[in-house]
Amino acid sequence: MKKTLLSLAALTLLASGAQARTWDAIRQSGTIKIATEGAFPPFNVLKGKELTGFEVELANELAKQMGLKVQWVTQPFDNLLIGLQQDRYDFVIASHGITPQRAKAVDFTNPHYCTGGAIVAKPGGPKTAADLVGKTVAVQVGTTYLDNVRKVQGVKEVKTFPKDTDAQAALMAGRVDAWVGDKFTGLDLVKAQKGKVVAGELLFNERIGMAVKKGNASLLKELNAALAKSLSSGSYAKISGKYFNTDVRCK
């Protein structure tokens, strides 16, 4: 937690530094550099050399509409916004909840989906925020799950893991009483584990956006325009349906 707070504070300072590539520069180069984590199914997943997932397909679609080739970069979740400040890539799509704290360090697009943080536990385990009293909870480091579980009074311990899948594994291994993570990820986990875990209550809702370097208004505008076009043309609905069997756009 300390580490996350420090890195976000450092980010806010860095935000005034080097120049990000403007939309003109990106368009002239013909290629946009996009960063994600690649360990957050079903949103962004790196399987061998292949990057897939809802966000990967959506970003590829947006780039196609913008007339650009894509160069993908994968980074640990906790480093993604820092790399953006260092101009290592043009934007980040990695299920970042739009929070006031993050919005001090980066600029967010309009949300590309809406979701929430949910509790998953073994049958008989905690299902509600009140049930978490005296329990240990696994979450991915640097996430809104960590922030929100910390707000629940009486939780015995919050264990953080570099990857969300590690936090899930801790639940399956019985090293924690509950996992808190994305509600869609939770549904997939419950399905994959066939009765070994059950979904509990939704702890909070969030709007998820793509992040550009603070002040990169020209790229932000193009991304928002491409997203709006995808939402109205049906290409968004098609990708969403493929991964979730439902339309996950914000309503």
Site residues, ligand ARG (CB under 6 A): 37, 40, 44, 77, 94-97, 140, 143-144, 164, 182
**Strand order through the sheet with 39-40:** 39-40, 44-47, 50-52
Name which of 65 and 99 has its Cβ closer to ligand ARG: 99
Return the half-sphere exposure (C-beta side, CA atoms, 13 A cut-off) of residue 194. 0
User: Minimum Å distance from CB 28 to ligand ARG?
Assistant: 30
User: Minimum Å distance from CB 71 to ligand ARG?
Assistant: 18
Name which of 77 and 236 has its Cβ closer to ligand ARG: 77
Name which of 111 and 126 has its Cβ closer to ligand ARG: 111
**Measured at the alpha carbon of residue 94, what is the angle toward residues 177 and 103, in degrees to the nearest 5?**
100
User: Minimum Å distance from CB 178 to ligand ARG?
Assistant: 16
d(CA 86, CA 249): 30
Name which of 20 and 203 has its Cβ closer to ligand ARG: 203
Tokens 């808190």 belong to residue: 180
Residue 127 and residue 167 in contact, taking contact as beta carbons nearer than 8 Å:
no
User: Minimum Å distance from CB 95 to ligand ARG?
Assistant: 4
Interaxial angle between packed helices 217-233 and 54-65, expressed in degrees from 0 to 180 and rounded to the nearest 10: 100
User: Minimum Å distance from CB 44 to ligand ARG?
Assistant: 6
Q: Provide CB contacts within 8 A for 238, sequence distance 6+.
A: none
Element (H, E) at 51: strand 50-52
